[in-house]
Amino acid sequence: AKRGRNRYVVYTDELDSALAHRRGVELALREALRTGEGLACHYQPLVRAADGKVVGVEALARWTHPRLGSVPPVQFIAVAEETGLIGTLGEWILREACTRLAPFEGVFVAVNVSAVQLRDDRFADMVFDALAACGMPARRLELEITETAIVNADAATVRLLKRLRRAGVRISLDDFGTGYSSLTLLKDLDVDKVKIDRSFVQMAPTADDSAAIVRAVSNLGAALGLRVVAEGVETEQQRVFLREAGCDELQGYLFSEAVTEDRIESVLGGFAAA
Protein backbone atom coordinates (compact mmCIF):
# COMPACT_ATOMS: atom_id res chain seq x y z
CA ALA A 1 0.00 0.00 0.00
CA LYS A 2 2.83 2.28 0.89
CA ARG A 3 4.53 1.76 -2.44
CA GLY A 4 1.24 2.37 -4.21
CA ARG A 5 0.79 5.61 -2.36
CA ASN A 6 4.30 6.75 -3.28
CA ARG A 7 3.65 5.96 -6.86
CA TYR A 8 0.53 8.05 -6.72
CA VAL A 9 2.44 10.97 -5.23
CA VAL A 10 5.12 10.74 -7.88
CA TYR A 11 2.43 10.60 -10.52
CA THR A 12 0.66 13.76 -9.34
CA ASP A 13 3.99 15.55 -9.01
CA GLU A 14 4.76 14.73 -12.61
CA LEU A 15 1.30 15.82 -13.64
CA ASP A 16 1.68 19.08 -11.71
CA SER A 17 4.99 19.85 -13.31
CA ALA A 18 3.64 18.99 -16.76
CA LEU A 19 0.76 21.40 -16.13
CA ALA A 20 3.12 24.03 -14.78
CA HIS A 21 5.26 23.63 -17.89
CA ARG A 22 2.21 24.02 -20.10
CA ARG A 23 1.15 27.12 -18.23
CA GLY A 24 4.69 28.46 -18.61
CA VAL A 25 4.57 27.83 -22.35
CA GLU A 26 1.19 29.54 -22.54
CA LEU A 27 2.39 32.68 -20.75
CA ALA A 28 5.57 32.82 -22.84
CA LEU A 29 3.59 32.42 -26.06
CA ARG A 30 1.14 35.12 -25.00
CA GLU A 31 4.08 37.44 -24.44
CA ALA A 32 5.67 36.51 -27.80
CA LEU A 33 2.40 37.29 -29.57
CA ARG A 34 2.21 40.65 -27.81
CA THR A 35 5.74 41.71 -28.69
CA GLY A 36 6.32 39.64 -31.83
CA GLU A 37 9.65 38.63 -30.35
CA GLY A 38 10.96 35.15 -31.17
CA LEU A 39 8.16 34.38 -33.63
CA ALA A 40 9.00 33.79 -37.24
CA CYS A 41 7.54 32.36 -40.36
CA HIS A 42 9.63 29.99 -42.48
CA TYR A 43 8.84 28.92 -46.03
CA GLN A 44 9.16 25.53 -47.68
CA PRO A 45 8.85 25.28 -51.47
CA LEU A 46 6.47 22.99 -53.34
CA VAL A 47 7.72 21.92 -56.75
CA ARG A 48 5.93 20.70 -59.85
CA ALA A 49 6.57 16.95 -60.14
CA ALA A 50 7.01 17.11 -63.91
CA ASP A 51 9.99 19.49 -63.98
CA GLY A 52 10.94 20.45 -60.41
CA LYS A 53 9.97 24.10 -60.88
CA VAL A 54 8.87 25.87 -57.67
CA VAL A 55 5.15 26.66 -57.84
CA GLY A 56 4.39 27.63 -54.27
CA VAL A 57 5.57 27.80 -50.68
CA GLU A 58 4.10 26.61 -47.40
CA ALA A 59 4.37 28.95 -44.41
CA LEU A 60 5.52 27.17 -41.25
CA ALA A 61 5.50 28.87 -37.86
CA ARG A 62 8.68 28.99 -35.78
CA TRP A 63 9.15 30.11 -32.20
CA THR A 64 12.32 30.55 -30.19
CA HIS A 65 12.07 31.63 -26.56
CA PRO A 66 15.03 32.95 -24.53
CA ARG A 67 14.55 30.33 -21.80
CA LEU A 68 12.52 27.53 -23.47
CA GLY A 69 14.70 27.57 -26.58
CA SER A 70 13.30 26.56 -29.94
CA VAL A 71 9.84 25.11 -29.30
CA PRO A 72 8.59 22.56 -31.89
CA PRO A 73 5.51 23.80 -33.81
CA VAL A 74 3.40 20.77 -32.90
CA GLN A 75 3.96 21.70 -29.25
CA PHE A 76 3.20 25.42 -29.33
CA ILE A 77 0.37 25.01 -31.87
CA ALA A 78 -1.28 22.54 -29.47
CA VAL A 79 -0.93 24.99 -26.57
CA ALA A 80 -2.25 27.82 -28.78
CA GLU A 81 -5.27 25.71 -29.72
CA GLU A 82 -6.05 24.83 -26.10
CA THR A 83 -5.75 28.40 -24.88
CA GLY A 84 -7.46 30.21 -27.73
CA LEU A 85 -4.22 31.94 -28.75
CA ILE A 86 -4.38 30.17 -32.12
CA GLY A 87 -6.65 32.91 -33.51
CA THR A 88 -3.99 35.58 -32.94
CA LEU A 89 -1.12 33.30 -33.96
CA GLY A 90 -2.92 32.13 -37.10
CA GLU A 91 -3.74 35.68 -38.15
CA TRP A 92 -0.13 36.74 -37.56
CA ILE A 93 1.21 33.91 -39.76
CA LEU A 94 -1.32 34.58 -42.51
CA ARG A 95 -0.54 38.31 -42.67
CA GLU A 96 3.17 37.71 -42.44
CA ALA A 97 3.19 35.10 -45.23
CA CYS A 98 0.91 37.04 -47.57
CA THR A 99 2.85 40.26 -47.09
CA ARG A 100 6.17 38.56 -47.71
CA LEU A 101 5.04 36.56 -50.77
CA ALA A 102 2.72 39.13 -52.39
CA PRO A 103 5.45 40.48 -54.73
CA PHE A 104 6.19 37.02 -56.17
CA GLU A 105 3.43 36.78 -58.74
CA GLY A 106 2.74 33.26 -59.95
CA VAL A 107 3.75 31.63 -56.67
CA PHE A 108 1.00 30.41 -54.35
CA VAL A 109 1.19 30.67 -50.57
CA ALA A 110 -0.07 27.79 -48.45
CA VAL A 111 -0.99 28.61 -44.85
CA ASN A 112 -1.96 26.03 -42.22
CA VAL A 113 -5.30 26.61 -40.54
CA SER A 114 -6.34 24.93 -37.33
CA ALA A 115 -9.82 23.47 -36.87
CA VAL A 116 -10.21 25.86 -33.91
CA GLN A 117 -9.80 28.88 -36.23
CA LEU A 118 -12.59 27.58 -38.47
CA ARG A 119 -15.02 27.71 -35.57
CA ASP A 120 -14.71 31.50 -35.51
CA ASP A 121 -17.26 33.00 -37.89
CA ARG A 122 -15.04 36.07 -38.38
CA PHE A 123 -12.36 33.89 -39.97
CA ALA A 124 -13.34 34.48 -43.62
CA ASP A 125 -13.45 38.27 -43.19
CA MET A 126 -10.07 38.18 -41.47
CA VAL A 127 -8.66 36.33 -44.51
CA PHE A 128 -10.21 38.82 -46.96
CA ASP A 129 -8.82 41.73 -44.91
CA ALA A 130 -5.33 40.22 -44.91
CA LEU A 131 -5.42 39.68 -48.69
CA ALA A 132 -6.68 43.21 -49.32
CA ALA A 133 -4.05 44.71 -47.01
CA CYS A 134 -1.17 43.22 -49.01
CA GLY A 135 -2.83 43.30 -52.41
CA MET A 136 -2.60 39.59 -53.01
CA PRO A 137 -5.27 37.95 -55.18
CA ALA A 138 -7.34 35.31 -53.37
CA ARG A 139 -6.45 32.61 -55.93
CA ARG A 140 -2.82 32.73 -54.78
CA LEU A 141 -3.77 31.70 -51.25
CA GLU A 142 -4.20 28.08 -50.24
CA LEU A 143 -5.52 27.19 -46.83
CA GLU A 144 -4.24 23.85 -45.58
CA ILE A 145 -6.77 22.14 -43.38
CA THR A 146 -6.17 18.72 -41.93
CA GLU A 147 -8.37 15.94 -43.15
CA THR A 148 -9.38 15.25 -39.55
CA ALA A 149 -10.63 18.82 -39.12
CA ILE A 150 -12.70 18.54 -42.29
CA VAL A 151 -14.24 15.21 -41.37
CA ASN A 152 -15.44 16.73 -38.10
CA ALA A 153 -16.59 20.00 -39.66
CA ASP A 154 -20.06 21.24 -38.73
CA ALA A 155 -22.49 23.01 -41.04
CA ALA A 156 -21.14 26.47 -40.13
CA THR A 157 -17.58 25.43 -41.01
CA VAL A 158 -18.72 24.01 -44.34
CA ARG A 159 -20.48 27.32 -45.13
CA LEU A 160 -17.37 29.25 -44.16
CA LEU A 161 -15.17 27.14 -46.44
CA LYS A 162 -17.60 27.58 -49.32
CA ARG A 163 -17.52 31.33 -48.83
CA LEU A 164 -13.74 31.32 -49.02
CA ARG A 165 -13.85 29.06 -52.09
CA ARG A 166 -16.33 31.35 -53.89
CA ALA A 167 -13.94 34.26 -53.31
CA GLY A 168 -11.19 32.28 -55.04
CA VAL A 169 -9.22 31.02 -52.03
CA ARG A 170 -8.07 27.43 -52.52
CA ILE A 171 -8.55 24.68 -49.99
CA SER A 172 -6.01 21.93 -49.53
CA LEU A 173 -6.60 18.81 -47.41
CA ASP A 174 -3.50 18.25 -45.29
CA ASP A 175 -2.29 14.90 -43.93
CA PHE A 176 -4.57 13.12 -46.37
CA GLY A 177 -5.03 9.41 -45.75
CA THR A 178 -5.05 9.71 -41.97
CA GLY A 179 -8.58 11.02 -41.45
CA TYR A 180 -10.92 8.65 -43.30
CA SER A 181 -12.76 11.26 -45.34
CA SER A 182 -15.20 10.10 -47.95
CA LEU A 183 -15.45 10.76 -51.66
CA THR A 184 -18.73 12.53 -51.07
CA LEU A 185 -17.08 14.92 -48.65
CA LEU A 186 -14.34 15.80 -51.14
CA LYS A 187 -16.97 16.54 -53.75
CA ASP A 188 -19.26 18.45 -51.39
CA LEU A 189 -16.53 20.69 -50.10
CA ASP A 190 -15.13 21.27 -53.54
CA VAL A 191 -11.53 21.12 -52.31
CA ASP A 192 -8.75 21.92 -54.77
CA LYS A 193 -5.94 19.80 -53.49
CA VAL A 194 -5.03 16.85 -51.33
CA LYS A 195 -1.67 16.45 -49.64
CA ILE A 196 -0.82 12.82 -49.10
CA ASP A 197 0.52 12.36 -45.58
CA ARG A 198 4.24 11.83 -45.40
CA SER A 199 3.89 8.46 -43.66
CA PHE A 200 2.55 6.98 -46.96
CA VAL A 201 4.92 9.01 -49.10
CA GLN A 202 8.01 7.78 -47.32
CA MET A 203 7.00 4.11 -47.35
CA ALA A 204 5.62 4.12 -50.88
CA PRO A 205 8.63 3.00 -52.91
CA THR A 206 9.19 -0.06 -50.72
CA ALA A 207 5.88 -0.96 -49.03
CA ASP A 208 3.14 -2.29 -51.29
CA ASP A 209 0.22 -1.03 -49.25
CA SER A 210 1.56 2.53 -49.07
CA ALA A 211 2.30 2.43 -52.80
CA ALA A 212 -1.27 1.32 -53.44
CA ILE A 213 -2.62 4.18 -51.32
CA VAL A 214 -0.52 6.77 -53.14
CA ARG A 215 -1.63 5.45 -56.53
CA ALA A 216 -5.27 5.33 -55.44
CA VAL A 217 -5.23 8.93 -54.12
CA SER A 218 -3.52 10.07 -57.27
CA ASN A 219 -6.14 8.38 -59.50
CA LEU A 220 -8.88 9.76 -57.29
CA GLY A 221 -7.45 13.24 -57.68
CA ALA A 222 -7.33 12.93 -61.45
CA ALA A 223 -10.92 11.67 -61.54
CA LEU A 224 -12.22 14.49 -59.34
CA GLY A 225 -10.08 17.21 -60.87
CA LEU A 226 -8.03 17.71 -57.70
CA ARG A 227 -4.36 18.40 -57.58
CA VAL A 228 -2.39 15.83 -55.60
CA VAL A 229 0.66 16.74 -53.54
CA ALA A 230 3.10 14.40 -51.82
CA GLU A 231 4.74 15.84 -48.70
CA GLY A 232 7.84 14.64 -46.89
CA VAL A 233 9.74 13.62 -50.02
CA GLU A 234 13.30 12.87 -48.91
CA THR A 235 14.85 10.58 -51.51
CA GLU A 236 15.31 10.43 -55.25
CA GLN A 237 13.67 6.99 -55.23
CA GLN A 238 10.55 8.51 -53.65
CA ARG A 239 10.54 11.37 -56.17
CA VAL A 240 10.65 9.00 -59.14
CA PHE A 241 7.94 6.78 -57.68
CA LEU A 242 5.65 9.72 -56.88
CA ARG A 243 6.02 11.33 -60.26
CA GLU A 244 5.22 8.05 -61.97
CA ALA A 245 2.27 7.50 -59.63
CA GLY A 246 0.84 10.77 -61.00
CA CYS A 247 1.38 13.24 -58.15
CA ASP A 248 1.25 16.84 -59.41
CA GLU A 249 3.41 18.53 -56.79
CA LEU A 250 6.12 17.43 -54.38
CA GLN A 251 7.45 18.89 -51.14
CA GLY A 252 10.19 17.73 -48.83
CA TYR A 253 13.79 17.89 -47.70
CA LEU A 254 14.92 16.46 -51.07
CA PHE A 255 14.12 19.87 -52.56
CA SER A 256 14.48 22.17 -49.57
CA GLU A 257 13.65 22.44 -45.91
CA ALA A 258 11.69 25.48 -44.72
CA VAL A 259 13.90 28.56 -45.07
CA THR A 260 13.98 31.94 -43.32
CA GLU A 261 12.31 34.86 -45.06
CA ASP A 262 15.58 36.36 -46.27
CA ARG A 263 16.26 33.17 -48.23
CA ILE A 264 12.95 33.18 -50.14
CA GLU A 265 14.49 34.71 -53.25
CA SER A 266 17.15 32.04 -53.51
CA VAL A 267 14.58 29.26 -53.08
CA LEU A 268 12.21 30.76 -55.62
CA GLY A 269 15.02 30.95 -58.14
CA GLY A 270 13.46 32.03 -61.41
CA PHE A 271 10.82 34.25 -59.84
CA ALA A 272 11.70 37.90 -59.57
CA ALA A 273 9.71 40.01 -57.13
CA ALA A 274 7.40 42.37 -59.03
Whether the Cβ atoms of residue 175 and residue 146 lie closer than 8 Å to each other: yes
Question: From CA 230, how far away is CA 246, in angstroms rounded?
Answer: 10
Shortest Cβ contact with ligand C2E: which residue?
252
* Site pattern 100..139 for Ca ion (x: CB under 5 A): ------------x---------------------------
Which residues, other chains included, contact 244 with Cβ-Cβ below 8 Å and sequence gap of 6+? none
77 binds, among Ca ion, ligand C2E, none (CB under 5 to 8 A by kind): ligand C2E
Nearest distance in Å: CB 75, ligand C2E: 9
Rounded to 10 degrees, what is the CA torsion of 107, 227, 73, 63? Answer: 0
What letter represents residue 185's amino acid? L
3-state secondary structure of 40: strand
Q: Is 174 in the site for Ca ion (CB under 5 A)?
A: yes
Nearest distance in Å: CB 165, Ca ion: 18
Q: Is 175 in the site for Ca ion (CB under 5 A)?
A: yes
Q: Is 238 in the site for ligand C2E (CB under 6 A)?
A: no
Question: If we measure between CA atoms, which residue out of 216, 218, 250, 213 comes closest to residue 234?
Answer: 250
Beta pairing, strands 54-65 & 108-113: parallel
106 binds, among ligand C2E, Ca ion, none (CB under 5 to 8 A by kind): none
Whether the Cβ atoms of residue 57 and residue 43 lie closer than 8 Å to each other: yes
Query: Which residues lie near ligand C2E (CB under 6 A)?
Result: 44, 60-61, 72-74, 77, 90, 93, 112-114, 144, 174-175, 198, 231-234, 252-253, 258
Query: Which residues lie near Ca ion (CB under 5 A)?
Result: 112, 144, 174-175, 231
